[in-house]
Amino acid sequence: MIRPLHLLIHLWWLHFGFTADVLQSPGLIPSRVGDNVTLLCEHQDSSFLYKYWYRQGKDKLLILMGHTHTTQTPNIEKEFLGGKITIQPTTAQKNVLKMLSVSHGDSATYYCA
């Protein structure tokens, strides 16, 4: 019998002394191949208008996925275009990263800053 494959997505928050505290949730997402995954990023400081999403895979390199400015149309980096991910700003302090039909290659740590 074939057991379902699982992938694990880690979500950590970044804190820099010169920025607002960034809250991300959920912290750990056990997912199956084919699942859709939603990650939330928020902060309470209305003066920080940009939010950036990064992916850190096995090679430990941080790769910019995209960013938002307030509630304007998000900017997705070229390698992440194609509909697999969306970044949706909901307010000036919140945005959502959605990954559709995750695969083993999506297993990584995701950061919002």
Rounded to whole angstroms, the Cα distance separating 107 from 55 reads 9
Instruction: Summarize pLDDT for 16-44 with one digit per residue, the tens.
Output: 334 556 666 667 788 899 999 999 888 87
Residue of 65, 110, 59, 108 whose CA lies nearest to 85: 65
User: In this model, does residue 11 exceed pLDDT 50?
Assistant: no
CA distances from 9 to 20, 101, 106 (A): 24, 13, 8
pLDDT of residue 1: 44
pLDDT of residue 12: 47
pLDDT of residue 9: 52
Domains of the chain and any CATH numbers? 7-112 (2.60.40.10)
pLDDT of residue 49: 80
Q: Among 18-32, 40-54, 76-90, which is the least confidently predicted range? A: 18-32
pLDDT of residue 20: 58
